[in-house]
């Protein structure tokens, strides 16, 4: 039985496990890159609280780099899948070479611009006189590693499209483990501080890019690397950008929110509030990454069955993914609300920073149990081809509602207002997303009745013609 037939016939529960678990592992590995860095940086002796705040200031920069990685990587991966499906293997192979060239070209531009305007950018992103030193120390090395970063991200995704998801995941895990080991070595053994964390990250990303390149040069890949394919094909790159533009825009929006948040945090809570947000967002990432992996697993199942007009399987897949997401997020909420000090203490032991972080995390993640409705709902709309609705709902939660909440609520509730901004945005977006999804699911009953009616009419016509 082919994969497509399995998507339309096998148990939804089994399919979700089969498709989601590798994706969840991959998302967790990606998230751990950042979380592990922050834990080690926050525990640097004597300066950990300022160092993790400096890191928080650099987050918009790393998000912008990630945006370009998604533009090239996700656009290339999707186009490779399309070309292979069309039987155009030569064009799929050309996309591999073009992705390499674009990674180097874009990476070089970001590196030069970032290093030349580094101080101005960091101050604009919320750095103070006390944290600028740490932000610069981290950013300088991260910017120098932009090319291997983009190279690794872009091509590792393409390995999945080449038919080797296990190898793709394996390379990511090797990179993550390398990062953890080098973090401990550079920061504490060699006393390199925040520079050591940045160097560990760049080294791990460079290793990932080398292993990815070896995959394509080793002769075991379906798509082969050829030097001639390094020459840019404007038509192919146009297709890459067309598909990658949506996640690129979303990441740029996320970077803008981080910049605004940093300035408001500094205004109402000082530098330590930025450090607290760095810790809180790291904890949130740990619980949200499995949900994003679950979405990746559910997407092909929902998409296939929607196309096959098997609406009950579409509905069941969505509800199963929502149920699993809610269970994970409820467990996360229990852990956060019950053991906030223990969780925050992993990142830093400074009493002042811990107090701000503990107060903040309890409020910031208040809506975690229900936010799965929003996250899985957005994925659901994307999976059935309603990309504009999905983008609106995503922007609604992360930009349209969040930015005004960040700017307005602190005027009434000071620093607590900033922590309240995310749950307020979550609550409203969950309500709106829930209404849209329920309306969509209700339409399936009508569609099923209409399909049954048409089927009965066809049977009646066929019977009449035979008589």
- Mean pLDDT in runs of 10 for the chain (467 residues)? 65 85 79 82 87 92 91 84 81 92 96 96 93 94 95 83 79 89 92 92 94 88 87 90 82 91 95 94 91 85 85 92 96 96 93 95 96 93 84 90 96 96 97 96 72 49 55
Whether 71 and 220 share a structural domain: yes
In contact, 224 and 369? CB cutoff 8 Å: no
pTM, entire model = 0.85
Whether 425 and 291 share a structural domain: yes
- How far is C-alpha 163 from the chain's CA centre? 22
Q: How far apart (Å, rounded) are the C-alpha atoms in residues 304 and 53?
A: 45
Dihedral sign for Cα 139, 141, 142, 146, please: positive
What's the pLDDT score for residue 367?
96
Query: Residue 155: inside a domain, yes or no?
Result: yes
In contact, 337 and 362? CB cutoff 8 Å: yes
In contact, 375 and 343? CB cutoff 8 Å: no
DSSP state of 230: G
Domain boundary among 260, 295, 327: 260
Query: Residue 165: inside a domain, yes or no?
Result: yes
Q: How far apart (Å, rounded) are the C-alpha atoms in residues 392 and 8?
A: 29
Whether 194 and 291 share a structural domain: no
Count how many domains the chain has: 2
Q: How far apart (Å, rounded) are the C-alpha atoms in residues 286 and 354?
A: 19
In contact, 384 and 303? CB cutoff 8 Å: yes
Query: Residue 117: inside a domain, yes or no?
Result: yes
Whether 246 and 288 share a structural domain: no
Exposure class string for 115-140: b at 16+ Cβ within 10 A, else e = eeebeebbeebbbbeebbebbbbbbe
Whether 288 and 315 share a structural domain: yes
Dihedral sign for Cα 155, 135, 246, 284, please: positive
What's the pLDDT score for residue 56?
92
Q: Is 87 helix (H, G, I), strand (E, B) or coil?
A: coil
Whether 253 and 275 share a structural domain: no
Query: Distances from the Cα of 416 to the Cαs of 333, 370, 421, 426, in angstroms?
Result: 19, 21, 9, 16
Task: Give the contacts of 356 (CB within 8 A, at least 6 positions apart).
Answer: 269, 272, 273, 275, 276, 415
Query: Residue 388: inside a domain, yes or no?
Result: yes
Whether 7 and 48 share a structural domain: no
| φ, ψ at 157 (rounded to 5°) | -65, -40
How many C-alpha atoms does 270 have within 13 Å on its Cβ side? 8
Whether 103 and 246 share a structural domain: yes
Whether 204 and 131 share a structural domain: yes
Domain boundary among 228, 260, 292: 260
What's the pLDDT score for residue 156?
83
Dihedral sign for Cα 411, 415, 419, 422, please: positive
- How far is C-alpha 23 from the chain's CA centre? 12
Query: Residue 5: inside a domain, yes or no?
Result: yes
What's the pLDDT score for residue 260?
95
CA-CA-CA-CA torsion for 371, 377, 379, 382, nearest 10 degrees?
-150
DSSP state of 218: S
Domain region containing 79: 43-260
Q: Token pair of 37, please?
A: 């860095």
Query: Residue 360: inside a domain, yes or no?
Result: yes
What's the pLDDT score for residue 258?
94
CA-CA-CA-CA torsion for 433, 434, 436, 441, nearest 10 degrees?
140
Query: Residue 265: inside a domain, yes or no?
Result: no
Whether 143 and 216 share a structural domain: yes
What's the pLDDT score for residue 28?
83
Whether 52 and 5 share a structural domain: no
Dihedral sign for Cα 435, 441, 445, 448, please: positive
Whether 218 and 333 share a structural domain: no
Q: E strand or H helix at 353, and its extent? A: helix 351-364
Q: How far apart (Å, rounded) are the C-alpha atoms in residues 309 and 291?
A: 26
Q: Token pair of 304, please?
A: 């296939």
| φ, ψ at 276 (rounded to 5°) | -65, -45
What's the pLDDT score for residue 467?
56
Closest C-alpha among 328, 455, 418, 325 to residue 378: 325
Domain boundary among 260, 287, 302: 260
Query: Residue 33: inside a domain, yes or no?
Result: no
In contact, 58 and 142? CB cutoff 8 Å: yes
């Amino acid at each position: 039985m082919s994969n497509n037939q399995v998507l339309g016939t096998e148990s939804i529960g089994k399919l979700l496990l089969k498709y989601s678990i590798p994706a969840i592992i991959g998302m967790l590995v990606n998230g751990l890159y950042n979380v592990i860095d922050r834990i080690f940086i926050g525990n640097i002796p004597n300066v950990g609280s300022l160092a993790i705040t400096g890191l928080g200031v650099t987050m918009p920069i790393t998000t912008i780099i990630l945006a370009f990685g998604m533009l090239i990587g996700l656009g290339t991966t999707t186009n490779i899948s399309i070309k292979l499906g069309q039987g155009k293997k030569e064009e799929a192979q050309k996309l591999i070479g073009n992705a390499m060239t674009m990674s180097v070209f874009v990476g070089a531009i970001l590196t030069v611009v970032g290093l030349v305007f580094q101080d101005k950018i960091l101050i604009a992103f919320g750095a103070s006189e006390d944290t600028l030193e740490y932000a610069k120390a981290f950013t300088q090395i991260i910017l120098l590693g932009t090319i291997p970063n983009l190279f690794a991200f872009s091509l590792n995704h393409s390995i999945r499209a080449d038919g080797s998801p296990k190898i793709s995941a394996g390379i990511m895990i090797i990179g993550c483990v390398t990062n953890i080991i080098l973090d401990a070595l550079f920061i504490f053994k060699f006393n390199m501080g925040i520079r050591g964390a940045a160097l560990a990250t760049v080294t791990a990303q460079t290793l990932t890019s080398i292993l990815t390149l070896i995959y394509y040069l080793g002769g075991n890949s379906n798509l082969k690397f050829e030097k001639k394919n390094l020459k840019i094909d404007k038509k192919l790159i146009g297709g890459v950008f067309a598909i990658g533009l949506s996640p690129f825009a979303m990441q740029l929006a996320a970077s803008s929110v981080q910049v605004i948040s940093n300035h408001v945090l500094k205004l109402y809570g000082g530098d330590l509030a930025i450090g607290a947000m760095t810790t809180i967002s790291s904890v949130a990432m740990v619980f949200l990454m499995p949900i994003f992996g679950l979405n990746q697993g559910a997407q092909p199942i929902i998409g296939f069955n929607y196309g096959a007009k098997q609406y009950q399987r579409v509905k069941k897949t969505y509800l199963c993914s929502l149920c699993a997401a809610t269970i994970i997020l409820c467990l996360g909420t229990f852990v956060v609300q019950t053991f906030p000090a223990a969780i925050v203490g992993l990142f830093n032991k400074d009493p002042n920073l811990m107090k701000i972080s503990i107060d903040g995390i309890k409020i910031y993640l208040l809506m975690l149990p229900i936010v799965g409705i929003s996250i899985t709902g957005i994925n659901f709309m994307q999976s059935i081809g309603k990309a504009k609705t999905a983008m609106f709902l995503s922007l609604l939660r992360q930009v349209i509602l969040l930015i005004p909440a960040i700017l307005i609520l602190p005027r009434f509730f000071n620093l607590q207002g900033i922590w309240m901004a995310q749950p307020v945005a979550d609550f409203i977006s969950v309500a709106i997303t829930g209404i849209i999804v329920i309306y969509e699911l209700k339409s399936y009953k009508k569609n099923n009745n209409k399909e049954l009616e048409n089927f009965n009419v066809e049977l009646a016509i066929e019977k009449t013609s035979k008589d």
